C-alpha cells in the first residue's frame, strides 16, 4: 500500500519538468548526453543530420554525407582515412566521439606518433625533419587549435598541398620558366641533388655532359629554344678554327672518359670518325697523322684527291721520273718499304740486278718510258765487244756478273771448236774484246806459224787437222788432177809449190811448166814431154809401138 503514493509522486515530478520546458523544445534534447563541439554547434538542434532513430549503424553514413572530402577519400582510398588499415571499416564515432562539450578534442591527433606514410604525401628526405606547421599553414596565418574548431582542423591538416611548388615557390630560382613540377629535377633529400632525366628531351646527356653544370648550357634561366648541336656551345673551343665545319659529332663523341683523366677537356681528343668507311682508308703511318696535315683547308666543299702524289709531291725524291702512281712501289708503312714486285714484270730481277738502284735503269719518267728487256738495252755503253750486230749478251753472260760463269757454245757459231781449239783459252784467238772480228780461216790466226810461207795457199785445213800440225794428210792423187807418180812421189811439196799464193792455189800440170830449164831439146819437141819420157826419170823413154 505504501508504494502507490511513490509512483504518483514520480509521475507528478515528470509532469512538472516538461511543463517547465519551452514550447519549441524537442524531447530528443532531453536525452542528449552533452553539448557538441563548437564546429557542430550550428547543427545541435538538428539531431537528424547526425542521427537516425533506432539506427546506430547509419550514423557513419550521415558523417561522410556531410564531410564529402572524406567520402571521396574513402571511395578512392586516398588520404589518411582511405589508406589507413586501422580506419578502414571503423565507425566515425570510434575516434571522433561527440557531446563532450564545446571545447572537447574529438580529433585525437597525436603529432608525435602520427604515421604520415599512410597519407597521400609520404615524408622522405628533408621532409622528415620539418615541423608540421612548415607544410600545414593556416590560411589566416594563425595557429588553429584542433580542439576549438574541428572544421578548421580538417582543412588545416588534410588540405595541405601535395606538390612542391605551393610550398617552395618563394625558393624557386627559375622564375616559373621550368613550370611547377619541381620533382622532375630535384629530390626531397636536397635541392642541390638534381635527378632530372635529360633523356626525355631532344638532347641526351652522355659522359662529360652529365657532370656539366646546368647554367653552362642554360644561361640566364633560358630553358627553351636551346641549340642542341655541338658547335653552338663549343664554337670557342674549336681548335680547327671552323675549317672542318660545324658537324663536330662526325668526328668527336661525348661518350667515354677523357683521354687524360686530369684534363676533362681531353675528351675532345677521343675521335670516333671511322676513316675506313671513306674513299681513303687509313693504313700504316697514315693512322698516326694529324687531320690537319691532309685537311689544311675547309673540309666540307673541298674534294681531296686520294692518290699519293697529290699529297707527297714535295716529298718525291724521284723528281717525277717514276710518275704519280707512288702506290705501285711504296707502302703506307714507310717510303723505304717498297711494295713493287719486279718479278711480275717482263724483266724479273735476279742476281746482281736485285742490288741495282732503280735510277740506274729508269733514267726518265716511267709513265712514258718503254724499256726493253734485253741486256743490250741497258748495257750498250758497256759493250766491250764493239759490235753493233752482236746484241745477245745472254748467250755468254749471266746476271751474276760479266765475268762470272761466262759460257758460250762455240759449236753453235761459224767456227766450232774441235781438237786443240777446244782446250785453248779464248784469248789465244780473241786478242781483244771484239770477238766477232776474228777470222775463221786457219791463216787468219796461224799466219805466223805457216812454215810453207803461203806457198801451199791459205787453206791449211786441206792438209792439217785441229789435232796438231804434225798430224796432216793430203791425197794428191784423189783430190787433184795431177797424180804423183814416179819421181814425183818422193818430192817435197815445196819442190813444185815455190811461190806464195795469195788467193786460190793453182799450178800448171804440164811438164814444161816445171822442167823447162832441164829440156835438152830446147823446146824443139814441144811441151808435151810425157809423150816420150816417163815420170820415173827423164832417161827412161817410152817404148815405140
Mind listing the pLDDT tens digit for each residue in 287-342? 888 888 888 888 777 788 888 888 888 888 887 778 888 888 888 888 877 777 88
Give the Cα separation of 76 and 405 in Å (integer): 112
CB 536 within 8 A of CB 486: yes
Give the Cα separation of 368 and 320 in Å (integer): 12
- Domain shared by 131 and 60, yes or no: yes
What b/e sequence results for 227-259 when a residue is b if at least 16 CB atoms lie within 10 Å of its CB, and e otherwise? eeebeebeeeebeeeebbeeebeebbbbeeebe
In a domain, 452, yes or no: yes
For the chain, the domain total comes to: 4
Between the CA of residue 270 and those of 106, 124, 254, 258, 261, what are the distances in Å? Answer: 70, 42, 9, 7, 12
- Domain shared by 493 and 518, yes or no: no
Q: Which pLDDT score is estimated for 147? A: 40
Extract the C-alpha cell encoding 516: 823447162
- Domain shared by 124 and 53, yes or no: yes
Domain boundary among 146, 162, 178: 162
- Domain shared by 108 and 213, yes or no: no
In a domain, 407, yes or no: no
Q: Which pLDDT score is estimated for 337? A: 76
In a domain, 431, yes or no: no
Q: Could you write out the DSSP letters of every residue in 151-171? A: HHHHHHHHTS--SHHHHHTTT
The whole model's pTM is what? 0.43
- Domain shared by 62 and 137, yes or no: yes
Q: Which pLDDT score is estimated for 444? A: 83
- Domain shared by 54 and 102, yes or no: yes
Between the CA of residue 161 and those of 120, 145, 189, what are the distances in Å? Answer: 10, 20, 18
- Domain shared by 149 and 127, yes or no: yes
Q: In terms of residue numbers, what domain contains 92?
A: 27-162
In a domain, 314, yes or no: no
Q: What are phi and psi of 468, to 5 degrees?
A: 155, 150
- Domain shared by 54 and 117, yes or no: yes
Q: Which pLDDT score is estimated for 43? A: 85
In a domain, 330, yes or no: no
Q: Which pLDDT score is estimated for 181? A: 87
Segment (H or E) for 472: strand 468-472
C-alpha R_g of the chain: 69
Distance of CA 401 to the CA centre of its chain: 47
pLDDT < 70 regions, the chain: 1-30, 57, 138-156, 256-257, 259, 264-266, 367-368, 387-389, 544-545
- Domain shared by 278 and 205, yes or no: yes
In a domain, 345, yes or no: no
Domain boundary among 256, 290, 306: 306
- Domain shared by 120 and 243, yes or no: no
Burial of 73 (C-beta count, 10 Å sphere; 0-12/13-18/19+): buried
Domain boundary among 252, 272, 306: 306
Q: Which pLDDT score is estimated for 86? A: 80
Q: Which pLDDT score is estimated for 388? A: 65
In a domain, 191, yes or no: no
Extract the C-alpha cell encoding 251: 668526328
Give the Cα separation of 150 and 39 in Å (integer): 5
Instruction: Return the ∠ at Cα 147 (arms to 145 and 150), rounded to 5°.
Output: 90
- Domain shared by 41 and 141, yes or no: yes
In a domain, 20, yes or no: no
- Domain shared by 464 and 513, yes or no: no
Q: Secondary structure of the chain: what % helix, strand, coil (to 5)?
A: 40, 5, 55
Amino acid at each position: 500500500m505504501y508504494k502507490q503514493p511513490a509512483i504518483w509522486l514520480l509521475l507528478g515530478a515528470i509532469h512538472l519538468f516538461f511543463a517547465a520546458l519551452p514550447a519549441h523544445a524537442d524531447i530528443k534534447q532531453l536525452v542528449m548526453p552533452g553539448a557538441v563541439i563548437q564546429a557542430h554547434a550550428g547543427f545541435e538542434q538538428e539531431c537528424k543530420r547526425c542521427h537516425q532513430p533506432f539506427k546506430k549503424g547509419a550514423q557513419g553514413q550521415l558523417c561522410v554525407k556531410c564531410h564529402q572530402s572524406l567520402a571521396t577519400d574513402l571511395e578512392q582510398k586516398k588520404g589518411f582515412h582511405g589508406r589507413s588499415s586501422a580506419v578502414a571499416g571503423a565507425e566515425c564515432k570510434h575516434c571522433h566521439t561527440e557531446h563532450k562539450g564545446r571545447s572537447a578534442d574529438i580529433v585525437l591527433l597525436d603529432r608525435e606518433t602520427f604515421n604520415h606514410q599512410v597519407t597521400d604525401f609520404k615524408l622522405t628526405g628533408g621532409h622528415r625533419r620539418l615541423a608540421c606547421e612548415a607544410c600545414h599553414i593556416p590560411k589566416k596565418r594563425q595557429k588553429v587549435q584542433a580542439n576549438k574548431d574541428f572544421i578548421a582542423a580538417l582543412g588545416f591538416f588534410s588540405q595541405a598541398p601535395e606538390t612542391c611548388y605551393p610550398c617552395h615557390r618563394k625558393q624557386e630560382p627559375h622564375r616559373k620558366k621550368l613550370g611547377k613540377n619541381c620533382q622532375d629535377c630535384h629530390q626531397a633529400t636536397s635541392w642541390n641533388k638534381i635527378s632530372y632525366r635529360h633523356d626525355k628531351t631532344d638532347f641526351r646527356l652522355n659522359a662529360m655532359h652529365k657532370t656539366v653544370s646546368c647554367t653552362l648550357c642554360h644561361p640566364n634561366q633560358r630553358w627553351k629554344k636551346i641549340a642542341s648541336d655541338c658547335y653552338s656551345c663549343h664554337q670557342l673551343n674549336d681548335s680547327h678554327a671552323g675549317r672542318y665545319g660545324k658537324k663536330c659529332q662526325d668526328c668527336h663523341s661525348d661518350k667515354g672518359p677523357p683521354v687524360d683523366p686530369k684534363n676533362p677537356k681531353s675528351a675532345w681528343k677521343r675521335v670516333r670518325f671511322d676513316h675506313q668507311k671513306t674513299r681513303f682508308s687509313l693504313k700504316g703511318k697514315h693512322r698516326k697523322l694529324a687531320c690537319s696535315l691532309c685537311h689544311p683547308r675547309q673540309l666540307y666543299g673541298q674534294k681531296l684527291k686520294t692518290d699519293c702524289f697529290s699529297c707527297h709531291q714535295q716529298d718525291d725524291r724521284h723528281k717525277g721520273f717514276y710518275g704519280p702512281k707512288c702506290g705501285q712501289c711504296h707502302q703506307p708503312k714507310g717510303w723505304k718499304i717498297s711494295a713493287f714486285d719486279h718479278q711480275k714484270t717482263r724483266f724479273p730481277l735476279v742476281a746482281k740486278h736485285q742490288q741495282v738502284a732503280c735510277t740506274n735503269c729508269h733514267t726518265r719518267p716511267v709513265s712514258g718510258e718503254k724499256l726493253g728487256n734485253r741486256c743490250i738495252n741497258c748495257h750498250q755503253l758497256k759493250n766491250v765487244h764493239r759490235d753493233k750486230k752482236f746484241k745477245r749478251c745472254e748467250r755468254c753472260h749471266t746476271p751474276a756478273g760479266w765475268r762470272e760463269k761466262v759460257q758460250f757454245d762455240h759449236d753453235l757459231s761459224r767456227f766450232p771448236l774441235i781438237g786443240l781449239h777446244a782446250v785453248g783459252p779464248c784469248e789465244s784467238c780473241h786478242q781483244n774484246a771484239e770477238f766477232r772480228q776474228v777470222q775463221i780461216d786457219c791463216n787468219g790466226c796461224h799466219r805466223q806459224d805457216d812454215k810453207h810461207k803461203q806457198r801451199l795457199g791459205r787453206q791449211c785445213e786441206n792438209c792439217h787437222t785441229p789435232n796438231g800440225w804434225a798430224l796432216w794428210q793430203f791425197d794428191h792423187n784423189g783430190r787433184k788432177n795431177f797424180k804423183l807418180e814416179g819421181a814425183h812421189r818422193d818430192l817435197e811439196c815445196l819442190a813444185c809449190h815455190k811461190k806464195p799464193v795469195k788467193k786460190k792455189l793453182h799450178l800448171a800440170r804440164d811438164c814444161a811448166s816445171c822442167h823447162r830449164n832441164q829440156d835438152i831439146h830446147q823446146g824443139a819437141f814441144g811441151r808435151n814431154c810425157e809423150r816420150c819420157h816417163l815420170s820415173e826419170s827423164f832417161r827412161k823413154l817410152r817404148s815405140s809401138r
